[in-house]
Amino acid sequence: MSAFIQLVVSGLATGAIYALVAVGFALLWQTSQTINFAQGEFVMVPAFFVLVAIKYWGFGYWPAIAVGFAISALLLGAAFKGLVVEPMLRHGVLPLVISTVALAILMKEAVKDFYSSQAQQFPAIVEGTDLDFLGAVVSTQSIAVIVVAIGAVALLNWFLSSTLTGRAMQATAQNRNVARILGIDVERMILYTFLINGLLTALASFLISPIYLAKFTNGETLGLAAFVAAIVGGFNQVRGAVLGGLILGILDNLAAAYVSAQYRAAVPLVVLVAVILWRPQGILGRVEERSV
């Protein structure tokens, strides 16, 4: 039992991080029909911004994290929107998909060529001590990750549902034309979505890199996890993506322990196919009825 609790708690920690990435992914999809195949690399790269700030610019941990957030918002948010998504939208979905696939390769290669191909140590927010929780050993790091990630999602949820800007963003996501008629600055709302995605992936990066080390190939599994979480939970709902992320994290850990370490990576994929077969709109998703 204690082993089970241990697995669930560490699973929740990974799941909370997946949730952050999946929420960003779903937001981008809703507001600008962008399927970002580089989302995993968006989580891989911010850790290296921080490492550069610490190693080459001599920053302390917190200033470096602040710099990491700022660069992420700028590059992964604003520049991604302006230089990659916008020029592509008029060509339709496929060129944009291809472009994000190429962007993923570009980011991976850039980190490998200009920083290192080796896994890098990354500082954690809190010291890793072990606590006793109902007889199970739980690391403070897992708890910290869960608290920070859930806090961030709660904050985002509050922002989207209770502030004027957040509601304008939701209106934009639901129907851009109506939003425009209502006098909402649609372009600005879309930019905010991209900035939020940049910040979310950066946060995920800073939380996950201390656990799995920072490496240029990290994005491959993370990106896949984000897709699966978003689809399993429901593509058109923020809380769906959160639920999907948590389920996936726990399942991943349990599968590694009880199914097979070799096929650990297969479990989320099987879940994905099952969801697509039986509930394609996702667990919490709405059906989008198509008319002609």
Q: Collapsing DSSP states into helix, strand and coil, what is residue 217?
A: coil
Could you count the other beta carbons within 10 Å of the beta carbon of residue 253?
Answer: 21
DSSP for 218-255? HHHHHHHHHHHHHHHH-TT-HHHHHHHHHHHHHHHHHI
Please report whether residue 256 would count as binding other proteins according to CB under 8 A.
no
CB nearer to other proteins: give 96 or 246: 96
Instruction: Name residues whose C-beta falls within 8 Å of residue 208's C-beta, 6 or more positions apart in sequence.
Output: 14, 17, 43, 218, 222
Please report whether residue 131 would count as binding other proteins according to CB under 8 A.
no
Write down the residue that tokens 């969801």 correspond to: 275
Please report whether residue 94 would count as binding other proteins according to CB under 8 A.
yes
Question: What residue type is assigned to position 10 of the chain?
Answer: S
CB nearer to other proteins: give 120 or 281: 281
Q: Phi, psi (5° rounding) for residue 95? A: -55, -35
Cα gap 27→189, rounded to integer Å: 11
Among 99, 193, 197, 236, which residue sits at the site for other proteins (rule: CB under 8 A)?
Answer: 99
For the segment 143-162, give every residue that binds other proteins (CB under 8 A).
none
Among 21, 22, 96, 169, which residue sits at the site for other proteins (rule: CB under 8 A)?
Answer: 96
Among 3, 4, 60, 102, which residue sits at the site for other proteins (rule: CB under 8 A)?
Answer: 102
Contact of 51 with 74, CB cutoff 8 Å? no
Please report whether residue 3 would count as binding other proteins according to CB under 8 A.
no
Q: How far is the CB of 109 from other proteins (least distance, A)?
A: 4
Q: Where are the alpha helices (DSSP H) in the chain?
A: 2-32, 39-44, 46-55, 61-72, 86-89, 93-114, 140-162, 164-174, 176-181, 186-212, 218-233, 238-254, 266-278
Please report whether residue 126 would count as binding other proteins according to CB under 8 A.
no
The number of residues that bind other proteins (CB under 8 A) is: 40
**Taking contact as CB under 8 A, which single stretch among the options 49-57, 71-79, 85-93, 160-168 is the one that binds other proteins?**
85-93
Q: Collapsing DSSP states into helix, strand and coil, what is residue 124?
A: coil
Instruction: Name residues whose C-beta falls within 8 Å of residue 260's C-beta, 6 or more positions apart in sequence.
Output: none
Please report whether residue 60 would count as binding other proteins according to CB under 8 A.
no
**Taking contact as CB under 8 A, which single stretch among the options 13-21, 102-110, 166-174, 178-186 is the one that binds other proteins?**
102-110
Write down the residue that tokens 């500082």 correspond to: 123
Please give the DSSP secondary-structure letter assigned to residue 75.
I
CB nearer to other proteins: give 129 or 291: 291
Among 171, 212, 220, 254, which residue sits at the site for other proteins (rule: CB under 8 A)?
Answer: 220
Q: How far is the CB of 269 from other proteins (least distance, A)?
A: 4
Among 8, 74, 110, 143, which residue sits at the site for other proteins (rule: CB under 8 A)?
Answer: 110
Please report whether residue 113 would count as binding other proteins according to CB under 8 A.
yes
CB nearer to other proteins: give 92 or 128: 92
Cα gap 147→13, rounded to integer Å: 9
Q: Which residues bind other proteins (CB under 8 A)?
A: 35, 84, 87-88, 91-99, 101-103, 105-106, 109-110, 113, 220, 224, 227-228, 231, 262-263, 265-266, 269-270, 272-273, 276-277, 280, 289, 291-292
